[in-house]
């Protein structure tokens, strides 16, 4: 279905741009390095309209998410100019900016303020701005909330049992204590009942991403930021006690998660949810909504909801498009950034089920209808999260060592989750690792 939508819009674009395409004899070539996957494939289709309008030739290089960072740094350090437009994780922007790998786009956006202002302010503060400059546009957001099996929460029998056990009403969790209780409550063995029906396989209260991937820190960002703390203090050090506290609570919840929690990342959790194995997630990327909602097809009576994480804070992620400073065609590259991050493309992108970054798209009533629920059903929650987190930013995104820290911090965290070291040791090791990476307290820009 999506595929036919994509090709239909592509056809429309092609016929519109056809006249230009013929006149363009000597196109300007630029290359965009980005993340492999369906949404990027869709974006690649949109590249076509840019090529036709601007007499350009855009090559899209798809790279596995886990390799994107190092691959891009290598090309930046080597100053190969191979990638004109790069794709950066939120935590990587400061490093690329500080080291001169990417070009500031403040001047470029001087006459495009409406576009810049259309990027949700919360997202803009964290993904776009650094040291007073603008460094590109985010084109995709994986900002976190959480997914929950609403049918379980709404079940009268379960509600009664929950109240009897915990002394308060079963509802969407608003604190991490409630989150823990719900996780515990719904953890059942095969043979026990769920919603009055006998389970044929084990059921777990929560799906966690404690595998060897940089996602456990995304999960932990939710309770850590929620308690008013951060990965780095204003002095640039890790608040060991706070990390110990949230990590300790997290490790407690692992008891209520499938054993695979120690080996998987978000796709594993989504598979568990789609296979009717878990009741909810921890802080989780809401861009996975089209994936999560498939649970309703697979599990009889299931209803999935995207809600705000307890404490109303969670990881804010966006893939930033920025222009490499070794690009031979910076002007064209910048135009391309504005094109992909711009309203036209973002709107079409949203129609395919993409998690757009623009307020005008996210609040477009056309996406709030029940027909669009399977593709854009998380938009309302996303808007709520951006409102709740308005004015917030993490120091992790303000240090030029953010990328290295981000790509290392899962190691002690996961070691504690697996029981290899204690929670306290993990927090201390994280502090030591971070100090080693920064060579002392990490510099924090304002």
Site for other proteins in 22-61 (CB under 8 A): 31, 33, 35-41, 59, 61
Angstrom distance (rounded) from CA 410 to CA 217: 6
- With contacts defined by CB under 8 A, name the span among 150-158, 221-229, 341-349, 408-416 that binds other proteins: 408-416
- Minimum distance, C-beta of residue 37 to other proteins, in the bound complex (Å): 3
325 lines the binding site for other proteins (CB under 8 A): no
69 lines the binding site for other proteins (CB under 8 A): yes
* 3-state SS class at 364: coil
Query: Among residues 124, 149, 179, 274, which is the contact residue for other proteins, using CB under 8 A?
Result: 274
Query: Among residues 11, 16, 18, 80, which is the contact residue for other proteins, using CB under 8 A?
Result: 80
**Tokens 């959790």 belong to residue:** 269
- Minimum distance, C-beta of residue 35 to other proteins, in the bound complex (Å): 6
Angstrom distance (rounded) from CA 131 to CA 92: 14
Alpha carbon distances (Å) from 304 to 93, 271, 276, 383, 419? 33, 14, 11, 18, 32
Query: Among residues 30, 43, 82, 220, which is the contact residue for other proteins, using CB under 8 A?
Result: 82
Alpha carbon distances (Å) from 316 to 1, 5, 120, 206, 367? 30, 29, 11, 21, 22
301 lines the binding site for other proteins (CB under 8 A): no
Query: Applying CB under 8 A, what is the total number of residues that bind other proteins?
Result: 71
- Minimum distance, C-beta of residue 299 to other proteins, in the bound complex (Å): 12
Is 238 in contact with 430 (CB distance < 8 Å)?
yes
- Minimum distance, C-beta of residue 334 to other proteins, in the bound complex (Å): 21
- Minimum distance, C-beta of residue 79 to other proteins, in the bound complex (Å): 9
Residues 344-373 that bind other proteins (CB under 8 A): none
Residues 195-234 that bind other proteins (CB under 8 A): 201, 211-213
Mask of contacts with other proteins, 121-160, x by CB under 8 A?
-------------------x-x------------------
7 lines the binding site for other proteins (CB under 8 A): no
Query: Among residues 174, 263, 325, 422, which is the contact residue for other proteins, using CB under 8 A?
Result: 263
For helices 330-340 and 38-54, the axis angle rounded to 10 degrees is: 120
- With contacts defined by CB under 8 A, name the span among 7-15, 127-135, 245-253, 406-414 that binds other proteins: 406-414
Angstrom distance (rounded) from CA 8 to CA 262: 42
- Minimum distance, C-beta of residue 260 to other proteins, in the bound complex (Å): 5
Angstrom distance (rounded) from CA 431 to CA 247: 14
11 lines the binding site for other proteins (CB under 8 A): no
DSSP string, 218-247: HHHHHHHHHTT--SS-TTSS--HHHHHHHH
Residue 175 C-beta-side C-alpha neighbours within 13 Å:
4
Residue 271 C-beta-side C-alpha neighbours within 13 Å:
9
């Amino acid at each position: 279905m999506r595929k036919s939508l994509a090709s239909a819009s592509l056809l429309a674009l092609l016929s519109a741009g056809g006249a230009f395409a013929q006149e363009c004899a000597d196109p300007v070539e630029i290359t965009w390095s980005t993340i492999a996957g369906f949404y990027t494939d869709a974006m690649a289709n949109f590249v076509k309209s840019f090529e036709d309008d601007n007499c350009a030739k855009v090559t899209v290089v798809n790279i596995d998410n886990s390799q994107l960072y190092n691959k891009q740094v290598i090309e930046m350090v080597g100053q190969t100019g191979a990638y004109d437009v790069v794709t950066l994780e939120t935590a990587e922007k400061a490093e690329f900016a500080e080291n001169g790998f990417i070009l500031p786009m403040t001047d470029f956006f001087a006459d495009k303020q409406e576009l810049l202002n259309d990027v949700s302010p919360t997202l803009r503060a964290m993904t776009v701005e650094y040291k007073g400059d603008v460094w590109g546009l985010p084109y995709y957001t994986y900002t976190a909330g959480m997914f929950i099996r609403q049918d379980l929460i709404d079940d009268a029998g379960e509600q009664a049992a929950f109240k009897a056990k915990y002394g308060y009403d079963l509802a969407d969790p608003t604190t991490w204590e409630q989150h823990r209780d719900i996780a515990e409550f719904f953890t059942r063995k095969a043979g026990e009942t769920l919603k009055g029906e006998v389970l044929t396989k084990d059921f777990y209260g929560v799906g966690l991403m404690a595998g060897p991937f940089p996602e456990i820190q995304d999960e932990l960002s939710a309770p850590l930021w929620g308690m008013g703390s951060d990965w780095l203090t204003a002095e640039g050090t890790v608040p060991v006690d706070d990390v110990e506290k949230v990590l300790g609570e997290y490790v407690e919840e692992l008891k209520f998660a499938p054993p695979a929690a120690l080996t998987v990342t978000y796709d594993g959790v989504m598979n568990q949810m789609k296979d009717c194995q878990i009741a909810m997630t921890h802080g989780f990327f809401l861009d996975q909504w089209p994936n999560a909602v498939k649970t309703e097809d697979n599990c009889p009576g299931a209803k999935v909801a995207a809600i705000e994480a307890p404490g109303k804070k969670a990881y804010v992620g966006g893939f930033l498009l920025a222009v490499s400073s070794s690009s031979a065609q910076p002007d064209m590259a910048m135009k391309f950034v504005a094109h992909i991050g711009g309203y036209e493309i973002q709107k079409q992108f949203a129609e395919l089920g993409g998690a757009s970054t623009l307020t005008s798209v996210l609040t477009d009533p056309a996406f709030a209808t029940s027909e669009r629920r399977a593709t854009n059903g998380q938009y309302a929650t996303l808007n709520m999260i951006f409102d709740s987190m308005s004015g917030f930013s993490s120091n992790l995104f303000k240090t030029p060592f953010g990328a290295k820290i981000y790509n290392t911090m899962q190691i002690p965290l996961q070691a504690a989750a697996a029981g290899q070291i204690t929670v306290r040791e993990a927090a201390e090791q994280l502090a030591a690792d971070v100090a080693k990476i920064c060579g002392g307290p990490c510099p924090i820009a304002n």
